[in-house]
Amino acid sequence: MTIDDIGFDPDELRDRYRRERDKRLRTDGANQYLDMSGDLAHFAEDDPYVAPGFTRDPITDECDVAIIGGGFSGILAGARLLEQGITDFRIVEAGGDFGGTWYWNRYPGAQCDTDAYCYLPLLEELGYMPKEKYAYVDEIFDYSRRVGEHFRLYDKTIFQTRVRRVWWDDDLQRWRVATNRGDDLRPRFVIMAMGTTTRPKLPGIPGIEEFQGHSFHTSRWDYDYTGGDTNGGMTGLADKRVAVIGTGATAIQVVPRVAEYAQHLYVFQRTPSTVGLRRNAPTDEKWFRSLQPGWQKERRDNFAAWSDGKRPEQDLVDDSWTDIFRAISSPKGADRPTTREERDRVVELSDFAKMEELRRRIDDTVEDRATAEALKPWYRVMCKRPTFNDEYLPAFNRPNVTLVDVGAAHGVERITPHGVVANGVEYEVDLIVYASGFQITSDFRLRLGVEIDGRDGLSLYDAWGKGQQTLHGFMTRGFSNWCYIGVSQNAFSLNMTSMFDEQAKHIAYIIGETVRRNASTVEPSQEAQDAWVDVIRGLQTTGSSFLADCTPGYYNNEGDRTESQFLGAYTPGLLRFTRLMEEWRSTGRMEGLELSLDE
């Protein structure tokens, strides 16, 4: 196969990808981001959706389970506990309502990036039909509340409450949960269900606190300043010069909406995102009503199979995600490569071709040649989470939108009292919007923002100081009756709620069985935990070279090749992991767990 046959030079692309990666690498890796504490605390702690000054009396009580977090992972944990007959539990949520990510991230244009028929959990149980294939934030937030009402979780939930410390009380043989409201909760079990986008992060740009204009993080959008709502109408920006710092998944959705209303919009880009077609559409009610029982699990499993590179016979989701999977997965049948080297080469060439297609779309859409070139991503398609939007690229054809590419300069230089300095130029602005994402793969203490101490006062962060230590990603030795819903040492899924639901089922089963067996505590044996960690470490080599060659991002811990939380995933995928957990539960042996029976 020649260069003329495939339309590009693979060697040239590999070299371009390396050069683009290298100019963005930073020695500080994930440490480049700022902790939102002290003078920066308002960026994360303020809640624009509740009236200020809320107070209540502290709560002191005992319960079977405390669930920390009221997003979809916490809601699903509650629903699955009820299935196991566990009714005595509390949910503690920092926001003023259920929703988690969708409570906080009510920025204009916010939308789920995976198929809503997969993303919104428990659709069959609630009999709910999403309005569109890709739901917007108002619908998702409302749906999370519907789930809470359906399972009567409101009566079990403490809102507007931040957990500060969780520790094991050896005398009580219970956990203690301390909050910013002075609460002293004493559950037998704790489920950490804080999701993956809990803690916003700010870029490590000098001078953030010196800016004299207005600023906020996208997860705390200030409609009092901008006017409008999630659908637009931001008339307060008509005479404002706005800077959006960041061009990841959030900015892709924000930029087109702000561009409609701002006097001028400056978009500061370090690394371009891949931007595929969204092609959203209203739900066909006749089709939806024709779906047979079990359809949602079938659809979710089908999407997971495609994302795991399995190439199933059907494509039930049929969108830009599965188009990518189809393009870059290894063929089956007679055309299937016979060696790993052949497979890797076929997949790499397919990846190059797909990215060339996405770059051509930029040329076809963006009128200014220099802007189009700057918007082109030069990396493998799954190095960063792909984005899909039909309005982002056309926004750069507007006369009031300017792209400021800061890739070669490692980002914005500094913030001044009056604006943003990039590439030696000061851009005076009235508003800075930080679309800088979340602490997804950073230090666990920074990510969770909760002090957690197990038996004998052992800090979780000390126990995990040299890497996460768990059985199946859920439980850790020395932390009896403590469970964690997350993305490490279990299966990561692009459709996050599928992953959360499978984890919630498994954790609820463990708690239910512990209670039914009249045991006081449960935790992994050292041998089982070590064996599982060895499995995970053995799997890391399959993705390490791929991610090492990627441009910096949260998938590869900002280019830090010594450590990546996503390399700690169970790489065979969600379906394999789910079957493994189902088989584990089916034996009834609770293999690898030590139960202490009540006297």
What does the pLDDT average to over 500-521? Answer: 98
pLDDT for the residue numbered 566? 41
DSSP structure class, residue 148: H
- pLDDT, tens digit (0-9, with 9 covering 90-100), for 95-149: 999 999 999 999 999 999 999 999 999 999 999 999 999 999 999 999 999 999 9
Residue 310 has pLDDT above 70, yes or no: yes
Could you say which of 415, 434, 453 is where a domain stops?
434
Q: Which range among 144-158, 366-380, 403-417 shows the weakest confidence by mean pLDDT?
A: 403-417
Residue 465 and residue 400 in one domain: no
Residue 361 or 492, more confident: 361
Indicate the SS3 state at residue 128. coil
Residue 37 domain-assigned?
A: no
Residue 396 and residue 494 in one domain: no
pLDDT for the residue numbered 27? 75
Residue 577 and residue 496 in one domain: yes
- Tokens encoding 148: 């809470």
What does pLDDT average to over the chain? 93
Indicate the SS3 state at residue 68. strand
- For residue 63, what pLDDT band results from cuts at 50, 70 and 90? very high
Residue 593 domain-assigned?
A: yes
Handedness of CA 128, 131, 132, 137 (dihedral sign): negative
DSSP structure class, residue 438: B
pLDDT for the residue numbered 560? 67
Rounded alpha-carbon distances, angstroms, from residue 276 to 89, 113, 356, 377, 456: 43, 11, 12, 12, 51
Query: Which residues, in sequence order, are CB contacts of 424 under 8 Å at separation 6+?
Result: 413
Could you say which of 374, 405, 434 is where a domain stops?
434
CA Rg, the chain, in Å? Answer: 24
As a whole-number percent, the residues of the chain with pLDDT over 70 amount to 94
Number of independent structural domains in the chain? 2
Residue 26 domain-assigned?
A: no
Residue 428 and residue 550 in one domain: no
Could you say which of 434, 459, 492 is where a domain stops?
434
Residue 46 domain-assigned?
A: no
Provide the Cα torsion 19, 571, 503, 164; round to 10°.
Answer: -40
Residue 426 and residue 460 in one domain: no
pLDDT for the residue numbered 33? 79
DSSP string covering 378-400: -S-TTSS--EE-SSHHHHTTSTT
What does the pLDDT average to over 493-504? Answer: 96
- Provide the domain limits for residue 446: 63-98+153-199+440-597
Residue 507 and residue 576 in one domain: yes
Handedness of CA 296, 297, 300, 303 (dihedral sign): negative
Residue 44 has pLDDT above 70, yes or no: yes
With 0-12 CB in 10 A as exposed, 13-18 as middle and 19+ as buried, what is 452?
buried
pLDDT for the residue numbered 542? 58
Residue 459 and residue 509 in one domain: yes
d(CA 166, CA 279): 45
d(CA 530, CA 523): 13
What does the pLDDT average to over 400-429? Answer: 96
Residue 7 domain-assigned?
A: no
The length of the chain is: 599
With 0-12 CB in 10 A as exposed, 13-18 as middle and 19+ as buried, what is 252?
buried
Residue 564 has pLDDT above 60, yes or no: no
pLDDT for the residue numbered 40? 83
Which phi and psi (to 5°) does residue 247 adopt?
A: -135, 35
Residue 449 domain-assigned?
A: yes
pLDDT for the residue numbered 567? 47
Residue 301 domain-assigned?
A: no
d(CA 117, CA 132): 9
pTM: 0.94
- For residue 565, what pLDDT band results from cuts at 50, 70 and 90? very low
Residue 465 and residue 572 in one domain: yes
Residue 487 and residue 568 in one domain: yes
What does the pLDDT average to over 426-440? Answer: 92
Residue 487 has pLDDT above 80, yes or no: yes
pLDDT for the residue numbered 100? 96
pLDDT for the residue numbered 561? 56
Residue 424 and residue 475 in one domain: no
- pLDDT, tens digit (0-9, with 9 covering 90-100), for 172-186: 999 999 999 999 999
d(CA 186, CA 62): 5
As a whole-number percent, the residues of the chain with pLDDT over 90 amount to 78
Residue 349 and residue 447 in one domain: no
Residue 486 and residue 446 in one domain: yes
Contact 506, 475 (CB under 8 A): no
CATH number for the domain that contains residue 570: 3.50.50.60
- For residue 333, what pLDDT band results from cuts at 50, 70 and 90? low
